[in-house]
Amino acid sequence: MEALDRAILTTLEQDVLHPAVISKAVEKALHQLRHQDDDPALRQQMMQKELAKVEGCIGSARARRGRRWKAVHAARRNQEA
Q: pLDDT tens-digit profile of 68-80?
A: 777 777 777 887 7
What's the confidence (pLDDT) of residue 37?
A: 64
* Radius of gyration (C-alpha) of the chain in whole angstroms: 18
- How many domains does the chain contain in total? 1
The pTM assigned to this predicted structure is 0.40
Range of the domain at 27: 2-80
Residue type present at position 76: R
**Integer Cα distance of 47 and 63 in angstroms:** 24
What's the confidence (pLDDT) of residue 16?
A: 75
All residue ranges of the chain with pLDDT < 70 are: 36-38, 81
Spatial neighbors of 64 by CB under 8 A, at least 6 apart, are 15
| 65 contacts 12 by C-beta, under 8 angstroms | no
